[in-house]
Structure formats: structure tokens, C-alpha cells
Structure 1
Amino acid sequence: MTQYDLAHRLVEARRQHRPIDAPPLDSLPPDAATAYAIQQAVIVGLGDSTGAWKIGARAPGGAAAGAPIPASLVLPSPARVAHTGFFRVLVELEVAFRFAEAIEPRGRAYARDEVLSKVGVVLPTIEIVDSRFAEWPNVAPLAQLADAQNNGALITGRPVAYAGLARSFDFVSPELELSFDGNSLVPEDGLSI
């Protein structure tokens, strides 16, 4: 299986709303660069563009991974999404950053303060976590990376100026609230992101 084959299978899984088998171990993307190329091929294959990026690390200071989210799946709140549009629906409460200016590629890494100086607004978001693989979550990490890091959609809330939150909001361990029809969905031991 080539990277083109996996990209095509992921596009068809989305179009036909039919989960696919995970690639066998000998057909996994061999590295992150290949998984990222598959992500881009899926966006192109869907005839979409990138509307947002899912970026994260397993632990503070750890290596970050990213995935483009198709523009058609970035929805401003209030939003309605059909459950039938997904293979499974899990939700994660997230914090999104919208930059006031572009961060141009360069030969050396940006320092944290350089990146934060370009943030314009912060948005509360709900990520719908989904996978096109039938065996999920028992899927190799590089296959999950190729599949947009298991992103199904992103619903964005009201933007708030970053400058007003930068010193007072705990972005690493925020206190979150999620309710439905006025009833809290937060377990007694709280939520973590």
C-alpha cells in the first residue's frame, strides 16, 4: 500500500461514510513526514482547504504533532452537526488560538514568546473526535496521524482577546464546564485536557 492508496482510502471512507481497515504493519506510513503528506492529500482529495489545525503534545514540553482540519468541518457556535456524519462521537473541550499575523516558515524554531506575541484571540472549542479506522483506538500512531489525528470536526466559540487572558488564564490546566440542557456533564472529579 502506498501513501496515495491510504490517502485515497481515507477520502473514500469520509465520502461513503464507511470505516476502513487500518493498514497492516508492513504498510503503515514509515514516518511522520509521510503521515503529514497523507493528511495533505486527503484535504486535496476532499476538494477542501485547511480551516484550522489540530496541534498537541502528549505532555508539556513533548514533541508536538499536527493535523489540518478541513474548512468545511470548522463550525462557529452555535452549530448543529448530525451524529450520522461520524463513525463514533467523542468530544473534547479544547482551547484554540487564532493568530493576528502569520507565522512564516524559517530555518530555526520560534521561541515560545515569539509565537505567543502573534496570538490575537483565544476561542473555547469542542472537538469531535472520530476516526475513519474500524479498529480505532487500536490503531498505530502513524496511521492515526495520517487520519488527521482522529479529528472529526471543530466547533468554535466566541473569541476573547488573548492580551486580556494571557496572565490570568491557566492554559495548561484550565477549569472547564460542559453542560447540556442546563445539566452539567462534568464528572465529579472534573475534566482534564
Structure 2
Amino acid sequence: MATTTETTLRDAFVKARRERSLVDIETLPVPASLEEALSVQADVSSAMGYSHLGWKVSIAPDGRGLIGLMPGPFLKPGDTYRSVPGAELRVEIEIGIRLGRDMPRRPGKPYSRAELLEHCHSAFVGIEVVESRIADWTHVQFPLWLADAMGHGGYLIGQDVPFEVFDSIGELTCTIELDGDVLYDKPAVHGNGDALAPVLAWANREHESALGGLVAGQVITTGSLCGGVLAPNLGPVIARLDPLAAISFALA
């Protein structure tokens, strides 16, 4: 049975999504555990009727894998991401994968990195737009952030790249330009070292999740290579992962 915290968060996040509005953080309780936060995600997904088309993954401080639902919108280069008025937007340059085969949970027999790649259909340059339903999430506690799908707003899928890119992240450079101003220009760095580590952490989780598992056809984004770059205003964006791709889109 859902707890009071889960019910309160589910109702608040569902209302915000349906009405394209923001929620005051002071009105939101904090989940007592990461498991409770994931349950909130599952409840919101069910209430919204979302298809499980994709995931963003992360690793908790204790090493366990975590996941955030990406139900779309999935955009392509040249598209416009339409935000909620007043929402804070951040742009993240990433490498994503498409699963070609299901990866059911295997207790006692963890997947290796090589096996993960064998289950992938392809890899691509991706851009995540982070847009939380929480109005001011500067100091949000992580369980609450997780309950809101780690602030996922939308995802832009760029060109395919070879799997070998995961072995040469440090040779790449991330640049983000918004309305003619360069917001970020630094070497690519993944917070976990290996960009595939968060995917493996979730694939090798100890317990099943109400959100479900990894299924062929799903998109998984492996985490930012530039941190979360704040967009101080709206307008045309050019995001580069040199020398692989330059992707143009717009924030509105």
C-alpha cells in the first residue's frame, strides 16, 4: 500500500505534468528511501499512461544502480523543446544506447561490460534537457529528485556513433552555445569514469523494480559528459561533441 508521502508526491507530480506547471518544493515531502522514490516514479508513470520507451541511469552513493523514466518527448536535430513557463532548464551532452536484446535481471550472475555491449543495437550522441517539476530544486534532497525521474524533461537523439566511443571519452570536447553565446567549452568527462558503469549498475541490481527492466528497443542515456549546463534564457542551441557531432535545436 502506498505511503502518505508516495500519494502526496504522485498527486503533485501528476498534476504538474498534466497542467504543465511547477510545484513549490516547500509543499513536497521527501521519500524515506530510494525504493520509495522509485515507487513514486512508477505511480506517476502509471497515472500518466506512459510507455517505458527509455531510461536515464545513475549510481547512488552506496553503489547501487538507479533509474529515471524517459517517456519522451524524443526529439531530433532541428526540433524545438517547449518548456514549462518559469522552469529552470539545463542541457547535458551524452552518449546514449539502444538495446537490441532484453536484459532481464540475473541475480548471482552479473552482466559484464562486454555482455552489455553485445545487448546493444547501436550508440548515438544524445542531448538531455533537464526540467524538473519542482520550481526551485537548487537544494533538493536526492530521494525527492529521484522521485521526479531525476528531473528528466526531454531527450534529443543525434547521429549514431561506434561503440568504441565509450573507450575514448577523454578525447572528446563538449561545447554548448545558446543564442550565440558559448556557455560551456571543456573536455568531456563522465562522473563515473566509464559511461557504461551506470547502465551496468542498474542491469545488475539486486532487487526487481516496480518500474520494470531493460527491454529491447528502449533508449538508455548513460549520463552527462559536461555536467548540467544552465540555460539562462531560451533560444537556438548548438551542442557539439567534437569531433563526433554538432547538433542544433531550440529551447522555447
In the alignment, structure 2 segments of 5+ residues that lack a partner are 190-224, 226-252
Rate the CA distance shift 1:36–1:188 in 2: closer, same or farther, 3 A: closer
Correspondence list, 1:108-119, <5 A: 108=108, 109-119=110-120
Compare the two structures and name the one with the higher strand fraction. Answer: 2
Q: In the alignment, what sits opposite 1:170?
A: 168
Question: Is the 8 Å Cα contact of residues 76 and 158 (structure 2) preserved in structure 1?
Answer: yes
Number of the residue aligned with 2:36: 34
Q: What SS is found at the alignment partner of 2:135?
A: coil
Matching residue's letter, 2:75:
L
Change (3 A) 1:32 1:96: same
Give the stretch that moved more between structures: 75-84 or 151-160: 75-84
CA RMSD of aligned residues (A): 2.9
**Matched pairs, number:** 186
Give me the whole-angstrom Cα distance separating, in 1, the residues matched to 2:77 and 2:186.
Answer: 27
Indicate the structure whose relative CO is greater, using CA pairs within 8 Å and at least 6 residues apart.
Answer: 2
Shift of the alpha carbon at 1:97?
A: 1.0
Unmatched segments (≥5 aa) in structure 1: none
Does the 8 A contact of 1:94 with 1:125 survive in 2? yes
The corresponding residue for 1:78 is 78
Cα offsets for 1:34-90 (capped at 9, x unmatched): 11111111112222212210012379x9543211111x3222333222244672211
For the residues of structure 2 that align with 1:112 and 1:89, how far apart are their CA atoms?
32
Indicate the residue corresponding to 1:185 in structure 2: 182
CA distance in 2, matches of 1:188, 1:124: 17
Corresponding position of 1:135: 136
Q: Please give the alpha-carbon distance, in whole angstroms, between the structure 1 residues aligned to 2:60 and 2:36.
A: 20
* 1:185 aligned counterpart, secondary structure: strand
Query: SS of the residue aligned with 1:159?
Result: strand
Identity between Structure 1 and Structure 2 (%)? 24
CA contact (8 A) 1:91 1:126 kept: yes
Q: Which amino acid aligns with 1:87?
A: A
